[in-house]
Structure 1
Amino acid sequence: MTIDHAQQPVLTVDKLVKVFPGPAGHEHPAVNQVSFTLESGGSLAIVGESGSGKTTTARIVAGLETATSGTVDVDGRVLAGRSRRRTRLANARLVQMVFQDPFGSLDPRQSVGAGIKELLAVHFGWGTAQLTERVTALLQQVGLDERHANKLPRNLSGGQRQRVAIARALALEPKILILDEAVSALDVSVQAQVLNLLADIREATGVSYLFVSHDLGVVRQITETCIVLNQGKIIESGSTAQVLDSPEHPYTQALIDAVPKPGWKPRRRT
């Protein structure tokens, strides 16, 4: 399908603030006046070093954290963080999240097919035949088949588990898929396969990606726009190519300079 980026934003984050209590009664603003938009069918990266606020921002958008102030609007619906069950179920149809470690979202005691069926049954109330058909289609969408449906997560490879986590996240046909370091734990060859898969899925479904990563090579491959966070604040934003090729802020330049260059070898300890 052809993605129309002229549509209204599917996600609008406005003046988002998240304050955590710190030692001796001091407050720590993990996210500080963060505002950005994500176009329908688009892919936006949030980059920054550990502690920059990127994961906290993503968790607020996903409804896993409650903002201290500010708003998150998804497809015209203002999300309110942790809320009543009915609201949470409705919000889950809008935003889903894929984590670095898929074990966090996969029940180790359930076959992967049974886990996806359970999710679909809660939201749609389908019968057995329809559930089975949908699970098969979802697994095929991520390059797996019925054999994988009958396996426990521990009997799959890391790449296969992440594919299952993606299939599970796509089951509710969300408007936005948040990927929080979703390929950073994978081998380079498997990482490339999953990134290609994500590109194909976005092209086929029109789902929008919010991609949280410290890996600028991955960001360049999978996103069109980018924001850079430092100490909870956006210090640079623009097209991914512009931000990575012509950074304006010294912090962004430092992030780029920290990426190992081809031929780099670690120093030997003396």
Structure 2
Amino acid sequence: MTKRVAVAGATGKMGQLAIRLIDEADDLELHAALDSRSSLDEMLGADVAFDVTHPGASAAIVEFAAGAGIPIVVGTSGWSSDRIAEITQFVRGHDDAGAVVFVPNFSIGSVLASSFAALAAPYFDSIEIVEAHHAGKVDSPSGTAVRTAELIGEGRGVAGPVAAPHADQRARGQLVSGIPVHSLRMSGVLAEQRVILGGDGETLTFTHSTLSPSSYEAGILLALRRATEVSGVTVGLDALLDLGLPGTIR
């Protein structure tokens, strides 16, 4: 059966990419393309919505779709764990609410790198994240870095917090789930993340580099196709890949 997709943020790069993928897919069709002047009512009748707007607009879009019973995939950056918790309460408080799938990064390679780091995390007490994005990215740390730090924290379990010496010094990075995160915003970079794990006499580094927006295509299609199969609030493309990591569905 063909799924009708409403795209919010249709004029942006990710929105245009999603629309192209929808047009090329046999099992998807474009229901509505929303920009900043569109009424959210244009989403009504869609089987799934796709939000790639900006942090100031995203919450209203998500609440509208979920409240209308439309599953929504959220690719907008800037969603903290506290804001996701608010949406979780919103969904739980509305009968027949649509599922909400938060995807910090649609690159399957990025998701796997973060997952591998989480699996290694219990064996190293020194762990830090360095992430770099283009100069125009407005939020830091990135949603991918936040998600990676959360997975590492969950993956450590009884091992407890990592060693983060001199965390009071600003140059030591921002602590996210107890993990120091360092953000670079500069020209010449699209996206890259390194998770560095240090042990006795050795380091282990997981690096993922995004070289082209085409790396997001498989993840976008996966999320759109699977969003109608889940319920409640799901965080991370890893949950849709069934990698078995903890804490992905709420």
TM-score class, shorter-chain normalisation, is under 0.3
Give the TM-score normalised by the residue count of structure 1. Answer: 0.26
Greater relative contact order, per chain length (Cα 8 Å cut-off, separation 6+): 1
Larger Rg: 1
Give the TM-score normalised by the residue count of structure 2. Answer: 0.27
